[in-house]
């Protein structure tokens, strides 16, 4: 596993998500192969994997890897940046957004 693989998966199956109401950001990667997302999660050392179910009965289950911590998102975008093609500009803009704000840390119980 390396940043090139993660970037390729993100370019094809991922998205950057910004919730304007509370200014939070997320990286999401969806795939029907849970094992691929588990390997990415292990490589990163963070992220949550959820089963998104099936859109139709004959479809496979969809899994989603979600990263919500701003520092981890910045780390991930920096690691992927040299390899991104499709989402390169969006990643650069998101990195500028993250670096240009002061974030409060959320304590999890």
Q: In what order do the strands lie in the sheet with 24-31?
A: 14-19, 24-31, 62-67, 48-53
Tens of pLDDT along the chain (109 residues) come to: 999 999 999 999 999 988 877 778 999 999 999 999 999 999 999 999 999 877 788 878 899 999 999 999 999 999 999 999 999 999 999 999 888 866 555 555 4
Contact 94, 74 (CB under 8 A): no
Residues in Cβ contact with 64 at an 8 Å cutoff, skipping those fewer than 6 apart? 28, 29, 30, 37, 49, 50, 52
Domain extent listing, the chain: 3-99
Q: What are phi and psi of 64, to 5 degrees?
A: -130, 130
What topology is assigned to 3-99 in CATH?
Answer: Endonuclease I-creI (3.10.28)
- The pLDDT of residue 53 is 77
Q: Is 70 exposed, middle or buried (0-12, 13-18, 19+ CB in 10 A)?
A: buried
């Amino acid at each position: 596993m390396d940043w090139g693989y993660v970037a390729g998966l993100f370019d094809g199956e991922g998205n950057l998500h910004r919730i304007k109401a509370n200014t939070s950001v997320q990286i999401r990667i969806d795939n029907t192969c849970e094992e691929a997302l588990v390997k990415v999660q292990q490589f990163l050392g963070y992220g949550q994997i959820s089963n998104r179910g099936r859109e139709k009965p004959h479809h496979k289950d969809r899994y989603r890897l979600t990263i919500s911590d701003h520092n981890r998102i910045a780390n991930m975008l920096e690691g992927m940046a040299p390899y991104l093609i499709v989402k390169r500009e969006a990643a650069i803009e998101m990195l500028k957004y993250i670096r240009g704000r002061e974030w409060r840390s959320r304590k999890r119980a």
